[in-house]
Amino acid sequence: MTNLDTTLPHPRASAFTILLRNALVWRKLLGPSLAFSFGEPIIYLLGLGYGLGQFIGDVNGIPYFTFLASGLLAASAMNVASFEGMFSVFTRMTHQQTYDAILATPLQVDDIVAGETLWCASKSVLNTLPILVVATLLGAIQSWTAIGAIPVFFLVGLCFAGPAILVASFAPSYDFFNYYTTLLITPMFIFSGVFYPVATLPVAAQVIVNILPLSHAIALIRPLVAGLPVADPLLHLGVLTAYAAVGYVAATIFIRRRLIR
Amino acid sequence: MASSIPDPIIVARGLTKHFGQREAVRGIDLDVPRGGCFGFLGPNGAGKTTTLRMILGQSPLTAGTLTVLGLPVPAGIREIRARTGVVPQSDNQDPDFTVVENLRMYARYFGLKPVQVADRIEELLVFLELADRKDANVRELSGGMKRRLSIARALINDPELIMLDEPTTGLDPQVRHLIWTRLRQLKAAGKTLLLTTHYMDEAERLCDRLVVIDRGRIVTEGSPRDLIQQHVEPHVIELQGEAATILPVLEGIAGIRVLSVGETHYCYALELGPVVAGLQRVPQLQYTHRAANLEDVFLKLTGHELRE
């Protein structure tokens, strides 16, 4: 018999205090945080990029090493925001009771969710940038336009923050996140064009992949990294923005239900 | 505001909270006066913490009205929280920050920048005897230090109202005494304290006025002294042992009231003489005599069965 407060989020500037708090903690835990976000993509890039790259050559006119690097950058932005939105938000909401402490101050739930969403996106940028640097040093980046991918990392972070925080709002324990990672994050990572073009999939699968956001993130980041023109930029930006907006509103509504009871 | 009687700092009328079928708070009327320490006493699950959460806007009211610091809940909740300090039941500092970083960050939630609170933080660290641990990580602190940090944190915004949810649970006697001393100093400085506890000694030491809450209702209200006089006989004789041995002896003594909690038997009497005379007929019986206290009121009003 829970009445959901479905009013639209109305965060205030104090949301940035949450962003600041998380940034200060991030700075303290920089080593483990970067190792976690950075290690796996670099291993994929080196292992698959150098290994498979020899056989594959170019894909859609892009060297495979560049093709893969651009996909891994998008996937990293997705993973960083998703894991922060699930595990870290859940920890602050339950074990650490950080939100209980904050809700004794003038901040409100809407400020917390807005701050966490902005932080997830910021962390997507912070933890994906080192991969971009390493990819550049390894010669995977073809153009200066790759700088344009940085704001896209932020948007991808926003896009995945809302759904991840929404999942956290329903989670009874950390194990619950296995559903979301196994059913959505991992399939997107494999099927959305990180490793091969989406066009090689059966048509039905292509439809599903194009409904999900990661393929749109890749469609923006890949040409920027390869120095090619971006096709249909408004469509891809629109899809990512729509996921970000709907996810953020839903996350706010359900985190309210979890914290204000 | 020329009124000679100061406005109460918290006014509740018909305050009610249901969680689905469970009625946690069932129509509480409350007037917490400004200044002094007001206590919420009650067994676990009585509705104390839920009431505190409602006062802080962390739990919507099912029914009733609530005014805190003259502001309505929930409309005025930001300002209420800005003028209130909270010491939660379990310590929830940021484990990744040091003592002083925790205080600085918490000040920011009140819109106070580190430069604005630098002096205040130093004062609070001294006040709660944490100055030499200011750069320690919270993870390294003992339970007593964490609780003192919780109190320091609750004072960072110089609040008018301080709400403490079982502030000394699980602490050693030295820390409890330090905390009690500090809370008395805060009271003397004109702050209003709202304290929940199930330690009767704590309530007797600190509270000027208190309510006993049980099963979501207020059972009684008054000063500790008044409540003791009103509800229990002045003399208490405590006996330890099996009911089968002790109760027959007590049945032979006229004019007393007996309450048994496990193997402890409380014998309440208006006059001490007849009870002692009765007990001395059984020479091997061990007993202690003490004055009635708040625990006796509590046991009488809330019963003696276990609450989980």
Q: What is the ipTM of this complex?
A: 0.93
Strand partners, B240: B264
**Facing residue for B109 by CB, picked from A28, A97, A107:** A107
- State the smallest CA–CA distance between residue A104 and chain B in angstroms: 6
**Facing residue for B109 by CB, picked from A24, A105, A261:** A105
- A14, A141, A210, B207 from A69: Cα distances, Å: 37, 8, 20, 66
Average pLDDT over residues B274-297: 87
- State the smallest CA–CA distance between residue B22 and chain A in angstroms: 11
The Cα–Cα gap between B48 and A27 comes to: 39
- A203, B34, B58, B109 from B79: Cα distances, Å: 57, 17, 14, 13
B17 shares contact with chain A (CB less than 8 Å): no
Question: Distance of alpha carbon A168 from its chain centroid, rounded?
Answer: 15
Q: What is the pLDDT of residue A166?
A: 98
Q: What is the pLDDT of residue A1?
A: 41
What residues in A contact B19, CB-CB < 8 Å? 261
- State the smallest CA–CA distance between residue B134 and chain A in angstroms: 17
What residues in B contact A1, CB-CB < 8 Å? 20
- A162, A241, B214, B243, B244 from A245: Cα distances, Å: 8, 6, 46, 68, 71
Write out the residues of chain A at the interface with chain B, using a CB-CB cutoff of 8 A. Answer: 1, 14, 17, 20-21, 24-25, 28-29, 96-98, 100-108, 259-261
Is the CB of B77 less than 8 angstroms away from the CB of A24? no
Helix or strand or coil: residue B264?
A: strand
The Cα–Cα gap between B215 and B231 comes to: 19
Is the CB of A102 less than 8 angstroms away from the CB of B109? yes
Question: Per residue of chain A (261 residues), what is the pLDDT tens digit?
Answer: 457 899 999 999 999 999 999 999 999 999 888 888 888 899 999 999 988 888 999 999 999 999 999 999 999 999 999 999 999 999 999 999 999 999 999 999 999 999 999 999 999 999 999 999 999 999 999 999 999 999 999 999 999 999 999 999 999 999 999 999 999 999 999 999 999 999 999 999 999 999 999 999 999 999 999 999 999 999 999 999 999 999 999 999 999 999 998
What residues in A contact B92, CB-CB < 8 Å? 96-98, 100-101
- The secondary structure element, H or E, covering residue B218 is strand B217-222
Q: What is the dihedral of CA A22, A28, A32, A34, to 10 degrees?
A: 70
What residues in A contact B57, CB-CB < 8 Å? 103, 260
E strands present in A34-187:
58-59, 62-63
- A21, A112, A116, B157, B258 from A16: Cα distances, Å: 9, 9, 9, 19, 61
Flag the least confident range among A123-127, B137-141, B223-227, B244-248: B244-248
What residues in B contact A25, CB-CB < 8 Å? 94, 96-97
Sign of the dihedral through C-alpha A128, A133, A135, A136: positive
- The secondary structure element, H or E, covering residue B17 is strand B10-19
Is the CB of B88 less than 8 angstroms away from the CB of A103? no
Q: What is the DSSP letter of A197?
A: -
Chain B, window 63-82: residues with a beta carbon less than 8 angstroms from a chain A beta carbon: 77-79, 81-82
What residues in A contact B82, CB-CB < 8 Å? 105-106
CB B35 within 8 A of CB B6: yes
Which structure tokens are listed for B306?
């276990």
pTM: 0.93
Is the CB of A100 less than 8 angstroms away from the CB of B88? yes
Average pLDDT over residues B167-186: 95
Task: Express each pLDDT in B213-227 by its tens digit.
Answer: 999 999 999 999 999
How many CB atoms within 10 Å of residue A195? 18
Strand partners, B135: none
Residue in A186, A192, A155 with CA at minimum distance from that of residue A70: A192
Q: What is the pLDDT of residue B122?
A: 98
What residues in B contact A105, CB-CB < 8 Å? 81-82, 106, 109-110, 157
- B4, B46, B216, B268 from B26: Cα distances, Å: 32, 10, 5, 31
Q: What is the pLDDT of residue A247?
A: 98
Which structure tokens are listed for B211?
């309510």
Task: Express each pLDDT in B36-94 by its tens digit.
Answer: 999 999 888 899 999 999 999 999 999 999 999 999 999 999 999 999 999 999 999 99
Average pLDDT over residues B174-188: 96
How many CB atoms within 10 Å of residue B259? 16
- The secondary structure element, H or E, covering residue B30 is strand B22-32
Which residues, in sequence order, are CB contacts of A81 under 8 Å at separation 6+? Answer: A120, A121, A123, A124, A156, A157, A158, A159, A160, A161, A164
Q: What is the pLDDT of residue A237?
A: 98
In which band, very low, low, confident or very high, does the pLDDT at B249 lie, cut at 50, 70 and 90?
confident
- State the smallest CA–CA distance between residue B100 and chain A in angstroms: 14
Amino acid (one-letter) located at A11 = P
Task: Express each pLDDT in B10-24 by its tens digit.
Answer: 999 999 999 999 999
| Dihedrals phi, psi of B10, to nearest 5 degrees | -135, 130
- State the smallest CA–CA distance between residue B180 and chain A in angstroms: 22
- Does the pLDDT value for residue B150 go beyond 90? yes
Nearest chain B residue (CA) to A98:
B92
CB B73 within 8 A of CB B91: no
Which residues, in sequence order, are CB contacts of B269 under 8 Å at separation 6+? Answer: B233, B235, B236, B237, B255, B256, B257, B275
